[in-house]
Structure 1
Amino acid sequence: MAHAFLFSCAMENQEKLNEMVGSRIRQARLNLNYTQSDVAERVEIDITHYSRIERGKSNPSLLVAYRICQLLQISLDDLFTD
């Protein structure tokens, strides 16, 4: 029973982290007046995947996160710190 609780807490934290990262990516994109399609094309991922990243429904690989940050002129640290 304890394992199920720990797994549930971990999943909840993962969802919150994904939402936070996605929100920060979205804000950086909007600051530069890019569309989701612009970013997806330039970082060479499918628009559907990019949209899911921004909505916190998917987490990017480290390489994709790096490419997104480079394009949006933010650091990887900006995704996780205030």
Structure 2
Amino acid sequence: MQNRIRDLRTIFDLTQDELAEKLEVSRQTISSLEKGRYNPSIMLAYKIAKVFQCRIEDVFIFEGEEK
């Protein structure tokens, strides 16, 4: 599953550390998410979307979907 976390984080001018703090996860979790090595739980996906003021579908791109 691909995601737009890095792009959105840049738009919102957040570092990985700042985003991690908002989500109550480690910076390593954010790094793994951005690199596609980790798929979040539905609750974490919801929190990420809430931070970026958008829908989960706007952050995460499931394989097989058009971008």
Tell me the alpha carbon deviations over residues 4-58 of structure 1, each in whole angstroms, 9 at most, x when there is no partner. Answer: xxxxxxxxxxxxx2xx22xx11111111111111110011011111110011111
Gaps of 5+ in 1: 1-16
Equivalent pairs counted in the alignment come to 62
Give the TM-score, by structure 1 length: 0.69
* Pair 1:32-2:12 in alignment: yes
More strand by share: 2
Q: Which has the higher contact order (CA 8 A, sep 6+)?
A: 2
Q: Which structure has the bigger radius of gyration?
A: 1
List structure 1 runs of 4+ shifted beyond 6 angstroms.
Answer: none
TM-score, with length taken from structure 2: 0.82
- Stretches of structure 2 that go unaligned for 5 or more consecutive residues are none
More helix by share: 1
